[in-house]
Chain A
Amino acid sequence: MSKRKKYLFCLAAGAVFSAVYVLLALYTVRSFGDILRVVGGSLHPDVQTFVPIFSQLKDACVFPPVWLPLAVGALLALWLFRIRHSRVWVKAVFAVTCVLIALVTYLCTVVLSFANGVLFLDIILSLIQNAGGLGL
């Protein structure tokens, strides 16, 4: 495979990978999106206070875990393609593994964060329990 083809393959793989992650992210935040849509309606003013809160929650806890590992994975993949004597699929698997580890680590950091006597994971669980399962 020529160097030009390798780079094209890398870009294509990265695009597919990104698309999958974006779909996953959208699925994950769907519930938050629903909440925002409903709460954002013409409800009591006090309730509207919470709309941007959940917007921030979404920004802080959902999108960074998606884009951060992607960026890390893409950098790693680019670096790996500079190493010779290795097959492309090995490099791709290695890059995906790097991305997944970064993603899981980041999610764990966010979800297991503990402040003022409250575990962040419990906020999400409370949301699910109260709603009878929002499909998060």
Chain B
Amino acid sequence: MKKVLCLLLALLFVPCFFTAACKEDKKEGMWSGYACEEIPLPQTEKPLYIAGYRGGREISGVLDIPCVRALYLSYNGGSALMLSVDCVGLTSDTVAKIVKGLRSVQRAGCEINVCATHSHAGIDTMGLWGNAALEGKNPDYMQALVSAAIRAGKRAYDSQAEGSFTYGKIKTEGLLYDSRLPHVYDEYLYQLRFIPNEASVTGTRAVFFGAHAEALRGDNTLLSADFPRYLSDEIKRRSGENCIFFNGAIGGLIMTPELVQGDAVENVRKTGARIADYVMAVEESPITEGTLTQKRVSLSVPLHNTLYLYYKFLGILGNPIRKSLFTGAYALKTELSVLHIGTLTFALLPGEIFPELVQGGGIAQPGAPANPEPLLDIAKRYGAEDLIVIGLCNDEIGYIVPPADYVLHGEYPFLTEAVDASGRRHYEETNSVSSDCAYRIAEAFEKAMRE
């Protein structure tokens, strides 16, 4: 009996020791850390496919090596580690591996978020751009990516220093193009800047801007992080500060225009430099009150896309899919978050959301259901002044299309794009989970704002 009691007591105290061993990350004031790790190209015989445009295209050379950038933020007792990966997107299974590797940071109370810059000149990290019906991901590269992300995250956390945060935004002109009518997009570029107290510590600018990273365009086969890389390099050159880029609401399909005709490499450099011009011109104001908090909400989106099912069946798609025992219907599990830093509100969304669903507007097809309330309106109802969207964060579920403008091909839905009565092409629907996705996102976002 005594032995049993001793054992029970021991078991009771083990979690206490364990908790004590995890140092709580609850500092007062503003702290930040930054790190950047290149994702090394593996010595492998397996092909490295370019992510985007067409399947089965291997990289033919290297323009620049994609990186993982990590930004640690701590403000009055709350903290978050933001990772920005130079890649097309990361499904939640890969995100889970990175978070697992950063468990020690997470146990300290730090929220971990893994975002993709959506580079279409990077290596396929979703498995969709290999040869048909075959896994496009290179396992060695994926391992290298996960390792680089974990190293960057740990280094950013370890390099934290005290300072202050400033925030500002600027309206851009001629930097965005919407390939699908109506032309709705967020022209603003947002910046969160960390200014360290000590001169020996390098400051960091986090840039939030919504545009497909495809300045190298579709014929490119050189490996690159696209314009986010050249933006970071320009910021470093001009100010000496670190720069980390986060993509925004890019659905439908928001991209940068061709600034240099006929020379893709010069175009990507010019695009990075033009965005850097705006970053350097942002008028900032200090963040003086509040704290850092993050609320995560899990959501389940009805899955209607046959191709998603097929990719899941083949073991290529990394998103968790569940089948209802009662209805037999499939649903895709994902999550979104709302991050508050002082008075700033960030929506961390798991895919490529249409700007119409964030700021309103758009086209309504005859007889189509109405769009959900725009996220910006929801945020304002809960007291937020601005809403900064970070897309492709912690998951990539494809396009999040407005239900009012959701048109599928009558005979071959999801297999081929529809053309509506006014002649507009509906490509994005073929890479979407279902028309219900926007409603689920809006509901989950409101829940996260409310709580």
Where the two chains meet, the residues of A that have a C-beta atom closer than 8 Å to any C-beta of B are 34-35, 38-39, 43-57, 115-120, 122-123, 126-127, 130-132, 134
Q: Which residue of B lies closest to A119 (CB)?
A: B323
**Pick from B321, B415, B427: contact of A35, CB under 8 Å:** B415
What sequence of 0s and 1s flags, for each residue 314-329 of chain B, a beta carbon within 8 Å of any chain A beta carbon?
1101001111000010
Inter-subunit contact B54/A123 (CB<8 Å): no
**Pick from B310, B313, B328, B431: contact of A46, CB under 8 Å:** B431
Contacts of B425 in A (CB 8 A): 44
Contacts of B313 in A (CB 8 A): 115-116, 118, 120, 123
Q: Which residue of B lies closest to A55 (CB)?
A: B132
- Closest Cβ of chain A to B81, distance in Å, is 30
**Pick from B54, B312, B320: contact of A49, CB under 8 Å:** B54
Is there a chain A Cβ closer than 8 Å to B411's Cβ? yes
Majority secondary structure, A binding face: helix
Q: Return 13 A-B CB contacts under 8 Å, by A number.
A: A46-B53, A47-B430, A48-B54, A50-B307, A50-B415, A53-B307, A53-B310, A57-B133, A117-B321, A117-B322, A118-B330, A123-B313, A131-B413
- Closest Cβ of chain B to A50, distance in Å, is 6
Is there a chain A Cβ closer than 8 Å to B129's Cβ? yes
State the interface size on chain B (CB cutoff 8 A). Answer: 39
Contacts of A118 in B (CB 8 A): 309, 312-313, 321, 323, 330
Report if A44-B427 is in contact (Cβ < 8 Å); known contacts: A123-B313, A130-B408: yes
Report if A47-B427 is in contact (Cβ < 8 Å); known contacts: A39-B415, A118-B312, A131-B413: yes
**Pick from A53, A116, A126: contact of B304, CB under 8 Å:** A126
Inter-subunit contact A130/B304 (CB<8 Å): yes
Contacts of A127 in B (CB 8 A): 306
Is there a chain A Cβ closer than 8 Å to B417's Cβ? yes
* Complex Cα gap A51–B54 (Å): 12
**Pick from B55, B328, B412: contact of A39, CB under 8 Å:** B412
* Complex Cα gap A49–B50 (Å): 13
Contacts of A126 in B (CB 8 A): 304, 306, 309, 330
- Closest Cβ of chain A to B92, distance in Å, is 14
- Closest Cβ of chain B to A43, distance in Å, is 6
> Which parts of B15-68 form the interface with A (CB within 8 Å)?
52-55
- Closest Cβ of chain A to B246, distance in Å, is 24
Contacts of A48 in B (CB 8 A): 54
Is there a chain A Cβ closer than 8 Å to B245's Cβ? no
Contacts of B307 in A (CB 8 A): 50, 53
> Which parts of B90-111 form the interface with A (CB within 8 Å)?
none
Report if A35-B412 is in contact (Cβ < 8 Å); known contacts: A123-B310, A130-B306: yes
